[in-house]
Amino acid sequence: MINEQETDKIMLSAFRYVVALQEQIQCYLNFQINHYLYNAFKESIAIFPRVVSNDDWNELIPTDSSLDDSIQDLKDKIAEIKGSLSEVQTMQTQF
């Protein structure tokens, strides 16, 4: 006949078995969830460049009309400097 100590040992052994089984199941579930998340991330990254490149970039950048004026001013200054340089070069050839 089984006494109380042997019953406790059997119950403790069964409890440890159930805990180990639960940990193993948790490990399998974590792996499956991580695998699913990884594949979903990989698929979304694969189409990301196409999604970004298909967007209209002009809508993302606000236009600044003051830049056009600044660019025109710089172009005028460059033209004036080139004109001055050509005048200096013609003066040098005269000497």
Q: What are the domain boundaries of the chain?
A: 1-61, 64-95
Q: Please report, for residues 6, 7, 8, 15, 75, the alpha-carbon distance to residue 3 in angstroms, rounded to integers and kept in the order given.
A: 6, 6, 9, 18, 102
Write out pLDDT tens, residues 73-84: 999 999 999 999
pLDDT of residue 61 exceeding 80, the answer is no
Q: Tokens in use for 6?
A: 């042997």
Write out pLDDT tens, residues 9-47: 999 999 999 999 999 999 999 999 999 999 999 888 887
Considering the entire predicted model, what is its pTM? 0.44
61 DSSP 8-state letter: S
